[in-house]
């Protein structure tokens, strides 16, 4: 009598992720075309190994190499069916995954792979290629050595200057924020020079001309702006408060406050919420490079953000309150252990140092009053009775309200520059475009957050760290693309998704995240009953929410059964 063997495997979101990675984006095929496997290579190819690892990263939120082998072994039938070939746990051993990371660290492999992936992504998802956002982030490393080139100490965005780090320059495409470029450099590299390198790299992947590059103030370097102009593109960036800009900004703000210019109100896309006010003027910029002298017209946007101004005013009053408290504490009432100032010059120096430290000079009126205390001294032996005087200085502080009323309208202003013509990028649109800088910053948060966990890195070798970081940027693309696809479908159909939030079964959203979409499939599992040569299967029925998500992602409705071998039969209960 044949024995009965029952096997239980977790399916979760694996078929969904494989559909995106393998069927839609073809990560494995592209890598195998660029870097064909060696003739002696057995088992899963390099590309398939990479996609299996990416699936583990996205499903489990874990990029550790040592965890993938056991994870694949727990779902051997699933992986064999998905890849259409026998899959051994050793195919994804940590040695194999380390080889994937090493190959991705090679420029001759990574550069054409990134280019082909980006081009296919743009084509498959019909993405607009008009605006690109640039930003950098750092990832701290627990390890490294003095011989390491990549792991260096520098300005840490993780607020851990004691640790070595690497730096990543990211480029994201509007409006969905999906990555189209990533460059990993040593942790002590300055940001300024990375923008030109990234733009030069993107010109071989995206249209070479006609793009708008958006970045923070470090992109505002004159050399970077000149390069963008010379390549036939446009830029939008704030200017750093260095050099002669503070004096220029004071004049531009003065013109706005005195009513010498017309301020245009900036409204949110709803047409109601006031974001601020702004005006612009034009100037000609000239710079000389090694080969030529460039001249171009630049629009200077002087912008006052309502939120930024409120925060600046709030900060000012907090500094005023702190300064007043500290000034009053300079001259406490007489008492044991209370220091008293008897020299006016010494107290004046302490007052000026406090005002300077809190940057409130001229905003507080400080008066130094001399107090004299007379006390009677009794006679003692041959010394007759007398009166003794003690002097001290007391601080009296009050706000200079006249100066405060003049200063507050001058807070919250910032300068942006662009060479895009007004017909292509009107003033309001330019300001709204920069407000979406969170799109690229969200990729930084995902890379370093729970989803991908780039920071901290626990690898010791530079090539492993470089390859792993590049691999995680490929995973970040999947998170952004799936999110964009579902949100676009929900917007087109004018509906929402309900049931994504645990404990809130009726909560609806039209802006779901990929992380929550994947979490909705964690309950899907497969039970196999083997009787002799026959195999019967029982798959967890998909819920209405799960079927809706598959539809919104453009996946086949039978995706979770499509990989079953034809010899399997459904189990009747």
- Which range is least confidently modeled, 118-127, 284-293, 381-390, 399-408? 381-390
**Rounded CA gap, 321 and 378, in Å?**
45
Cβ-Cβ contacts under 8 Å for 563 (sequence gap 6 or more): 15, 78, 81, 82
Pairwise CA distance, residues 183 & 453, whole Å:
18
Asked if residue 421 lies in contact with residue 104, where contact means CB atoms within 8 angstroms, the answer is no
Q: State the average pLDDT over residues 10-33.
A: 94
State the residue for tokens 């002097």: 391
User: For residue range 285-319, what is the model confidence (pLDDT) as tens digits?
Assistant: 999 877 888 999 999 999 999 999 999 999 999 99
* Residue of higher predicted confidence among 380 and 14: 14
Measured between alpha carbons, how far is residue 11 from residues 307, 387, 476, 499, 520 in Å?
A: 47, 95, 22, 20, 12
End-to-end CA distance of the chain: 22
Q: Whole-angstrom Cα distance, residue 82 to residue 561? A: 10
State the pairing for strand pair 293-305/164-173: unpaired
> Rounded CA gap, 72 and 66, in Å?
11
Nearest to 489 by CA among 511, 508, 505, 506: 511
Q: What is the pLDDT of residue 569?
A: 83
* pLDDT tens, residue by residue, 461-519: 888 989 999 999 999 999 999 999 999 999 999 999 999 998 898 999 999 999 999 99
User: What is the C-alpha to C-alpha distance for residues 96 and 209, in angstroms, rounded to an integer?
Assistant: 40
Average pLDDT, the chain: 89
Work out the number of other CB atoms within 10 angstroms of the CB of residue 58. Answer: 26
- The 10 Å Cβ neighbour count of residue 203 is 15
- Burial per residue of 500-524, b for 16 or more beta-carbon CB atoms within 10 angstroms, e otherwise: beeeeeeeeeeebbbbebbebbeeb
For residue 487, the model assigns a pLDDT of 92
Sequence-ordered list of residues with C-beta below 8 angstroms from that of 401, at least 6 positions apart, any chain: none
- b/e per residue 480-489 (b: at least 16 CB within 10 A): bbbbbbbbee
Q: Which of 420, 423, 412 is nearest to 275 (CA)?
A: 412
Residue 145 in tokens: 């050595």
Range in 184-193, 260-269, 434-443, 536-545 the model is least confident about = 434-443
Asked if the model's pLDDT at residue 329 lies above 70, the reply is yes
The span from the CA of 541 to the CA of 558, in Å, is 11
Over residues 115-136, the pLDDT tens digits come to 999 999 999 888 888 999 999 9
Q: What is the pLDDT of residues 542-551, one digit of tens each?
A: 999 999 999 9
* Signed CA dihedral, 195, 201, 205, 209: sign only: positive
Higher-confidence position of 109 and 268? 109
Q: Nearest 5°: phi and psi at 308?
A: -65, -40
Instruction: Judge contact between 177 and 479, C-beta under 8 A.
Output: no
pLDDT at res. 2: 66
DSSP string, 481-535: HHHHHHHHHHHHHT--EES-STT-TT-EESS--HHHHHHTTTT-EEEEEEETTEE
Spatial separation of the C-alpha atoms in residues 219 and 440, rounded to whole Å: 14
Cα distance between residue 154 and residue 151, in whole Å: 10
Which helix H or strand E contains 349, and what residues bound it?
A: helix 344-357
Assess whether pLDDT exceeds 70 at residue 573.
no
Q: How many helices (H) and strands (E) does the chain have?
A: 18, 17
**Could you tell me where the DSSP H helices lie in 61-176?**
68-73, 76-83, 94-104, 107-124
69 contacts 93 by C-beta, under 8 angstroms: yes
């Amino acid at each position: 009598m044949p024995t009965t063997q029952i096997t239980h495997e977790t399916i979760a979101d694996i078929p969904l992720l494989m559909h995106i990675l393998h069927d839609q984006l073809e990560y494995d095929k592209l890598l195998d075309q660029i870097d064909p496997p060696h003739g002696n290579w057995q088992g899963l190819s390099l590309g398939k190994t990479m996609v299996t690892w990416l699936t583990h990263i996205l499903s489990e939120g874990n990029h550790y190499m040592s965890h993938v082998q056991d994870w694949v072994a727990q779902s051997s039938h699933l992986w064999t069916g998905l890849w259409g070939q026998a899959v051994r746990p050793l195919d994804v051993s940590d040695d194999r995954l380390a080889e994937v990371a090493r190959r991705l660290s090679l420029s001759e492999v990574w550069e054409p792979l990134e280019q082909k992936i980006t081009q296919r992504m743009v084509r498959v998802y019909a993405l607009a290629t008009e605006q690109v956002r640039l930003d950098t982030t750092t990832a701290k490393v627990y390890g490294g050595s003095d011989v390491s080139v990549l792991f260096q100490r520098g300005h840490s965005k993780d607020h851990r200057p004691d640790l070595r780090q690497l730096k990543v320059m990211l480029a994201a495409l509007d409006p969905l924020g999906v990555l189209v470029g990533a460059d990993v450099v040593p942790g002590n590299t300055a940001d300024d020079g990375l923008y030109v390198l990234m733009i030069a790299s993107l010109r071989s992947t995206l249209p070479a001309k006609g793009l708008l590059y958006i970045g923070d103030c470090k992109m505002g370097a004159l050399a970077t702006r000149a390069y963008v102009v010379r390549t036939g593109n446009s830029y939008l960036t704030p200017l750093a408060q260095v050099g002669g800009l503070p004096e220029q900004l004071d004049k531009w703000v003065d013109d706005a406050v005195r009513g010498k210019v017309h301020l245009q109100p900036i409204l949110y896309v709803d047409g109601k919420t006031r974001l601020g006010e702004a005006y612009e003027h034009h100037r000609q910029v000239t710079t000389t490079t090694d080969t030529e002298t460039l001249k171009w017209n630049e629009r200077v946007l002087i912008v006052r953000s309502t939120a930024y101004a409120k925060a600046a005013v709030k900060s000012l009053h907090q500094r005023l309150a702190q300064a007043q408290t500290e000034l009053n504490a300079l001259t406490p009432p007489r008492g044991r252990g209370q220091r008293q100032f008897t020299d006016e010059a010494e107290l004046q120096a302490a007052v000026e140092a406090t005002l300077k430290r809190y940057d409130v000079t001229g905003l507080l009126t400080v008066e130094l009053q001399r107090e004299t205390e007379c006390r009677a001294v009794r006679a003692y032996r041959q010394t007759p009775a007398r009166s003794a005087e003690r002097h001290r200085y007391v601080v009296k502080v009050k706000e200079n309200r006249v100066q405060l009323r003049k200063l507050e309208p001058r807070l919250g202003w910032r300068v942006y520059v662009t060479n895009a013509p007004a017909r292509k990028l009107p003033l309001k649109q330019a300001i709204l475009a920069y407000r979406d800088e969170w799109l690229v910053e969200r990729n930084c948060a995902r890379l370093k957050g729970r989803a991908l966990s780039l920071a901290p890195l626990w690898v010791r070798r530079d090539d492993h760290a470089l390859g792993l970081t590049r691999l995680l940027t490929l995973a970040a693309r999947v998170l952004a693309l799936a999110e964009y696809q579902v949100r676009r479908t929900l917007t087109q159909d004018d509906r929402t998704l309900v049931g994504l939030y645990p404990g809130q079964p009726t909560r609806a959203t039209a802006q779901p995240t990929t992380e929550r979409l994947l979490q909705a499939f964690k309950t899907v599992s497969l039970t196999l009953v083997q009787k002799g040569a026959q195999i019967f299967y029982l798959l967890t029925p998909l819920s209405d929410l799960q079927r809706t998500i598959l539809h919104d992602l453009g996946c086949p409705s039978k995706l979770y059964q499509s990989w079953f071998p034809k010899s399997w039969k459904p189990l009747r209960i």
